[in-house]
Structure formats: C-alpha cells, structure tokens
Structure 1
C-alpha cells in the first residue's frame, strides 16, 4: 500500500476509481459505447469552454519561454477538439476486447475451461504536455472496461481540468459512475509520487513522455508499470539494398516527423556500398534539413558532417539530426544496434532474403521492419485502430498497445458437482 497519508486526496481519488472499476467491469459493450458517444458529443458542445481553458495554459507557456514546438503540442482549437471527438467515435467502432475467449477446452474429467479477457481495473496514466492524451486515454480505458486516473503535466492543468469535467459529465449522463474518469489532484511532484506508490488501489501505471519521465516512473513506482519506451531507432542499409528504396526509407524514417518515438535516429551502412550510397543519402538528408553526426567515413564524404561520439549513438534526438556509421557487415550492424538501441524499432533495407531473415532473427526489438520505414510502428498503422502507447518491455504487452493490451485474463471453470480426489 502507499506510504502517503491515508486521507491523501490522491489516495481518495484512487479509492473512488476502484469502486467505479467494479461497476464498469460487468457492463455490456452497449453501456460503455454509449458513454463514449456521449463524451464525443459533449466535447463538441463544450468546445468554447475547452479552448478558453487551453488558452490559459498556452499563455503561461509562452510567458515561460516554452519552445514553439511544445506550445504547438499543447494548443487546442476548435478543429483539434473536433478531431479529438472524432477519435472517440472511432474507438466506439473498435472490437470489444472484454469477454473475448482466448482459449477453451473440456478437460478429461468433464470440467469446462475458458480463459477470457477482463479489464485491468484501475489504470493510471502519467503523461506530458499533450492534452489530447487526456481524452484518448480516457476513451481507450473506458472502452476496455477500466477506470482511469489521469496525471498530466502542470503545463496543461487548466486544459486537462476542463476536459475531464466535460468527460465526467458525459459519463454520468450515460448512466455510468463519474469516477470512471478522474484527474489526479495536485500539480506538484508529490501527487505523482503518491500515485506511483498507491499499490493495492491502482492496478497498473502507464507513463507517456520523454526518457526522464519514463525512468522516474519505472524506478520509483511500487505499482506495476507498463514501460512505454523512448525510440532510439536504427535503419541498416545492407550491401544488397536497392539504393533508391534505401534513400526513400531513410528520409521518411528520419524527416517525415522527427519528434516522435518511431523516427529513425541512426543509420548504418554496409561498407561495400558506402562509396555509392553516402553521397546520395547526404544530399537527400540535407534537402530534408537533416544534420548528420557521422563517423570518419561519413565525415570524409562531406565537410558538413558533424563528428559523432558515443553520446550520438545513445541519443534520441527527436529533431532533424541523425547519427551515421559505416559498418563492415550485417553482424556488425546488429552488434551496434544491440549495444545502443532502446528496443523500439529497427529497419533493414535489403534484397537479400537470407540477410533479412538473419537481421530479423538477431535483432531483439519491439518491431523489426524489412524494406519499410520505422515510422510504421504505430497502433493506427498496424490496424489496431488506436493505441495507449508503445511498450518496449517484454511482459504482458509489447509494441503498440491497443485495447487488448488494456485487459488481463481470468479462467472460468464450469463443473457439474466436480470434486477433486
């Protein structure tokens, strides 16, 4: 249990969430979907209220000198609110994971055995500046029968407060308990610590954000954590690669949207094709506005290349920067990846089927792309409809986490007066 005072507002919020979770668990899909539709309608009806609250956060962020890229993530306008509402309606149409039978059989003694999906219970989400996550997380948790505790950053506190008020009113209107969706009280780190140590009240925590946030939650939590990882992703261009394809994949993986976790941060090139590939890659990357931090071979190919250090190999840039090295062979590329990867996504570009198979078998990351951009590691792109995050751990959930990953299982055993000898 938590070491926080038992009358702590955070723990009281968690207790109410636990009571709400018990109500949600047996509800039919129609009840949960009805609440989601009510949430979408309410977001649209109360857009002005939401945008007004968001303007307060944006003004504070600008006054504090926050980077415009962060302010853009923070900002809500009527078009973005409408898009968020549309996303909630999309969740309604996704398959319901609750009650799905994963396996079943009749045992030799006549007992009927079924393993079925059930909600996790109370899910805590700790996340940074994007207020759209508030609604996304609430919708996905409610769809999968879970109560949700939302702890966004203080920079979005007014926005999140307004959004959660709208969602709670909609949930009540649909006949569900308001405490199925709650904002964790407090803006200080103490409230985060109390949430992380509310073992017995919170079933699982999911951190979403940068490396520092994720590390803090993983290392400091007594509540089980599903670790969503940073993305130090690699692209390896093999000697049997189609070079036109390799250039296209590299530029897309790095520059299509560099601030996300599935963007490439390092490119590795087989030495047999370096003389031909590097000039083409350097031009394409320069045209895309990307700065290359390269080893000696890359530096020899262009005076614009910044000398790379071990810090570059370890860095998730989230910017128009990429680390680059030439390697003697596929095994050397794999060794580099295994040393420096965060376990998110790696890609190989090759026309050699045996080389592709070897790369896939040796690389131990959440997703491995063959002749495709790292940018495809995404719940929507995988056809899951939505995701709560991308897990880089190996227990319970790995990779893009859709609705099934927000459930656990239980066994239901049905007999006819069976007793064990």
Structure 2
C-alpha cells in the first residue's frame, strides 16, 4: 500500500463528506447517533473479542498495567460508551445558532451564525471509547472527522468504526463523514498532518510527547493541551476542614487524570496546623509527598522536592507540597510551574478569591472546589472532545460549541458602500 496516496484519499473524502454533514438536519444526525448506540450494544460480543486481540498483543509487548486498563473494553464500559452517545443525542444542536445580530444604520441586517469547523482530525492513544465519543461529537457538530487511534487498540477501533459507518448509512448519510486510518505505520500521521488542503483542525489526545510531536509536524492548526500541572493553594483564611477535603479529593479521587492536583501550596500561617493531619490522610491513601524545606521541617519521612518536581505531571499518587509566604508567592509559583490547565484557591477571604481568579491565567480557576471538576460532563456540556489549554479558538473542556466556528450572514435591500 502507498500510505501517502491512502491518506490523501481519506482527506479528500473527508472534505467532500464535510459538505454533506454540514447541511444535515438535527433529526438525521440524531438518527445516526441512535443507530451508533444501538450498534454498540448489539455488537458487544464482537467488540470484546476484537479487544481481546489488542489486550493479548499489549501484554506480549510488555505495556504497563495502566495502559492495559485504559485499553480494556468490558461489558460495563461498552454500555457506558453507548450511553455517552445517547447523551449527545439529547444535547442541543449548535449548528445554525444565532450567536448575535444587529441592524446597521444603513439597514443592513448582520447575523453571526454558528457553523461546523469542517474536517477535524483526532489523534489519540489507547482508549477505544474515544473512537465512538469523538466521532459522535463531531457528527452532532456537523463535522467530518478522521480518526487515528494508537496501534495498541487497532482491532478494537476497527470494530467500532464498522458500527459507525453502518449507522451513518442507515441514517442516509455519507459514510465518509467518519473515517478511520486503519494503517498503524507512523508515517500515516506524518502525511495526515500535512493535509492542510483538506483538513481544518487537528486535536491530539494523549501524553505530552504525542502532543508535542503533532505540533512540531503539523501544517494544520492544532488545539492542544500539553499537560495538567494543577495546583491547590490553601490560603491563610481557608476553612481548614474544607481545605483538607478538597485537597484529598483533588489528589486521590482519580490521580491519573489531567485535572488531578500535582502541587499543594499552603500559606505559612496555617501550614503547621494543616499539614500534619492532611499528610497522614494522604499517606494513608498511598500518596508519596515531596516537600520544600519548610514542609520537610514540619513533616517527617517525606522526600525533598526538586526544582524539576514542580514541573511534573505525575498522573500518579505523588504530590508536591510547598509552603508559601503570601498569596502573591502562590500565584508566582503557579505562573512559573503551572500548565494553564486548572488551579484552585481555598479561602474565606473574598478579596483573595477575586485576586486569585484575576491573576491566575488558567483555563479553569476554582474557588473552594476541587480541580477534578474540569470536565465537559461536570460543566454541563454533556460530553467533551478534550480539554484545551490554548486560548485560540477553544479553552478548557471542549464540547459541541467548541467544535464549531461561525460566519457572518448579511441581509440587505440594495445597499452600496460609499
């Protein structure tokens, strides 16, 4: 197979199909989504069989237990995948929404209308459910999508893809609206990232190494988040019981996620009171604590934090703890070491809360709540394609609206520019 020609044809097909899906009605798109959900449930046995092939290959390759867990499809996860697609059916269709409108003094009526982006490429690792989730979101937002999953999940992804294309055809839609790159060679990605004649945006989902590689090679705009180095600052005016509960949740509820806390900052006035109790609870939950000099003077049997530690996204039960002198020191630390993802302050002081929200430049900034809430579902968006730490064109959890752009539609009655 000539991989360059293969990718070129996929990209051309997507461009052609994007015009079809962009004008599809909500009823038709929802019918296709319901077909997808039904197909996932009715094909559960096939999905598990194909997934076993991937799991066996992954085990033989010596992949980690964490990767195997992300890769595994169970009956429960298959039902959850179908339910996720059905949730998208119930979301409002963003296409055609009037964002704003006005009438100029010369009588021109100017409308700003939400429209699909066009052709979206999504490059992702491990999780087969992303194949269905990403396809469903792009479909509802009126986009054609090209999916390129990791080679470790190729059998699972192809099985899910067969369900997707069958569902599109049953609904009367062009099956090329959703395409999967079925070759596992890395050069397929290289060609795909140069298809700027046909593709409008690339969204990578995976580790920092994958995202940096995509950004370096792509001639197409990339919406990205490199990593989630999230902080919780416990202010001198914090309710300490609340602070303890928030920090525990942010670290241990699901540590392998991008919105889990990686560094806890504590004001020096309350550090001797807060740290012994919360450290014990963290350690009881299996957390390894790495502390600054002042933290080490308060707590026994913890590691000394290094400069590099503060930049790390551990995605594990490891936590940096640093004592700071002021709220300004906390903000300075977050600015230097953070990744503009999610950061929180715990405080009962209104002025400090407002200062933190103004000066911390992250996609999500919290007052008295866990960073674990940075999620499309938790934000009431129903689902997400990912979490962006960019500022253009999307930031934070990316739902249906973030998978659209807009155009201006202007109505006149013969006006001429003077």
- Would you call these one fold, judging by a TM-score over 0.5? yes
The yes-or-no answer on 1:173 pairing with 2:170 is: yes
Structure 1 residue 302 displacement after superposition = 2.6
2:55 match: 58
Q: Partners in 1 of 2:162 and 2:25 — Cα distance?
A: 24
Once the two structures are superposed, residues 217-242 of structure 1 have per-residue CA deviations (whole angstroms, 9 ceiling, x without a partner) of: 12221001111341000010111111
**Conservation of the 8 A alpha-carbon contact between 1:32 and 1:142:** yes
**Conservation of the 8 A alpha-carbon contact between 1:131 and 1:159:** yes
Aligned pair partner of 1:386 in 383, 387, 391: 383
**Conservation of the 8 A alpha-carbon contact between 1:122 and 1:201:** yes
Q: Which structure 2 residues correspond to residues 190-269 of structure 1 after superposition, within 5 A?
A: 190-269=187-266
Q: Partners in 1 of 2:246 and 2:208 — Cα distance?
A: 26
Q: Which structure 2 residues correspond to residues 145-184 of structure 1 after superposition, within 5 A?
A: 145-184=142-181
Q: Partners in 2 of 1:285 and 1:301 — Cα distance?
A: 15
- CA shift in 2, pair 1:236/1:189, >3 Å: same
Q: Partners in 2 of 1:61 and 1:185 — Cα distance?
A: 18
Q: Partners in 2 of 1:165 and 1:284 — Cα distance?
A: 47
Please identify, of 115-124 and 184-193, the stretch whose mean Cα deviation from structure 2 is larger. Answer: 184-193
Aligned pair partner of 2:20 in 20, 23, 27: 23
The yes-or-no answer on 1:338 pairing with 2:335 is: yes
- CA shift in 2, pair 1:195/1:7, >3 Å: closer
Q: Partners in 2 of 1:313 and 1:32 — Cα distance?
A: 45
Ranges in structure 2 where 5+ consecutive residues have no aligned partner: none
Partner SS, residue 272 of structure 1: coil
Q: Partners in 2 of 1:304 and 1:11 — Cα distance?
A: 58
Partner SS, residue 222 of structure 1: coil
Aligned pair partner of 1:273 in 270, 274, 277: 270
Q: Partners in 2 of 1:361 and 1:109 — Cα distance?
A: 40
**Conservation of the 8 A alpha-carbon contact between 2:154 and 2:182:** no
**Conservation of the 8 A alpha-carbon contact between 1:10 and 1:185:** no
The yes-or-no answer on 1:34 pairing with 2:41 is: no
Structure 1 residue 7 displacement after superposition = 5.8
- CA shift in 2, pair 1:390/1:419, >3 Å: same
Structure 1 residue 301 displacement after superposition = 2.3
Q: Partners in 1 of 2:87 and 2:314 — Cα distance?
A: 32
**Conservation of the 8 A alpha-carbon contact between 2:3 and 2:188:** no
Q: Give the aligned CA root-mean-square deviation in angstroms.
A: 1.1
Q: Partners in 2 of 1:344 and 1:115 — Cα distance?
A: 29
**Conservation of the 8 A alpha-carbon contact between 1:9 and 1:185:** no
Q: Partners in 1 of 2:162 and 2:212 — Cα distance?
A: 30
Q: Partners in 2 of 1:132 and 1:358 — Cα distance?
A: 40
Q: Which structure 2 residues correspond to residues 65-84 of structure 1 after superposition, within 5 A?
A: 65-84=62-81
2:40 match: 43
Q: Partners in 1 of 2:74 and 2:379 — Cα distance?
A: 28
1:11 match: 8
Q: Partners in 1 of 2:311 and 2:251 — Cα distance?
A: 16
The yes-or-no answer on 1:364 pairing with 2:364 is: no
**Conservation of the 8 A alpha-carbon contact between 1:206 and 1:228:** no
1:139 match: 136
TM-score, normalisation: structure 1: 0.97
**Conservation of the 8 A alpha-carbon contact between 2:51 and 2:156:** yes
Once the two structures are superposed, residues 84-132 of structure 1 have per-residue CA deviations (whole angstroms, 9 ceiling, x without a partner) of: 1111011000011000001111111111110100000110000110000
1:115 match: 112
Ranges in structure 1 where 5+ consecutive residues have no aligned partner: none
The yes-or-no answer on 1:373 pairing with 2:348 is: no
**Conservation of the 8 A alpha-carbon contact between 1:214 and 1:228:** yes
1:409 match: 406
